[in-house]
Amino acid sequence: MDLKLAGRRALVTGSSSGIGEAIARALSQEGAKVVVHGRNQERAEKVAGDIKAAGVAIGELSTDEGAASVHQAACKALGGNIEILINNAGGSSTGNTSKAPVDIKPEDFVSNYNANTLAAVRLALLAVPDMVAAHFGRVINVSSSVAIQPNNVGVDYSAAKAALNNFTVSLSGSLKAVGVTVNTVTPGVIMVDGLVRFGRAKFGDPNMPFDEIARRLAEERVFDLPPVGRLGLPEEVAMVACMLASPALGYVTGSNYRVDGGQVRAVV
């Protein structure tokens, strides 16, 4: 199936590793011009070289100035305005993944809101006006299953991702008949590099394969396996993001696509 992405200009934030890297690779394979973003120049340039990207944009998205610099660098590398914006950068900025709500400070909520919600908001505010003017654009926000089904710990992160989901719906609803769609992709537990390293260190085997790590983590109840019986791969999230980026999916907006193996038990 031709997703009609050849030549389309894309910025994927947080794409020097993990899910973002997989999305950048998939878009590039579909013929899109991709800018790789990250905070580490060496890692970003390695990914960009591997996929023959249009360029890299290095910088923090935690400030208005940083986001503006990334936006400017991306447009310059692409030779035009951003048509596809993948807001993937984020993650727990405080490390409170095992802390109960009563142990999390108000400033932790502020930090995670800035990293996971406002980073996406900043870039959307910069990129969307150009999309509207061109009558084409795709904004895809990468969220988390805890935005829908929060745990009893790490609520500063899950609250920020829930806010991102709400931003998706509100922004999509405000863009009427302009050719711009806004959607969310929500991964479950995905076998990113950090989880692989964690598993290999925990079980003392530096060469342990992905499926064995997943099995052992589930066996020891570090993670419960979802109904499909395994953990997800970054490439599976990337395929959904590519579909949503396609001009062929212009009738899909304001939606949340869960890529979680059935982990979240919800009907929306």
Is 113 a known active-site residue? no
The Cα 134–Cα 189 span in angstroms is 36
Which listed residue (113, 157, 251, 257) is catalytic?
A: 157
Q: Is 190 helix (H, G, I), strand (E, B) or coil?
A: strand
CB atoms within 10 A of CB 6: 10
Burial of 221 (0-12, 13-18, 19+ CB in 10 A): exposed
Mark 128-148 as b/e (b = at least 16 C-beta within 10 Å).
Answer: bebbeeeebbbbbbbbbbbbb
Give CA–CA dist 152/149, Å, rounded.
10
Tokens of 100: 């109960």
Q: Please give the positions annotated as active site.
A: 157
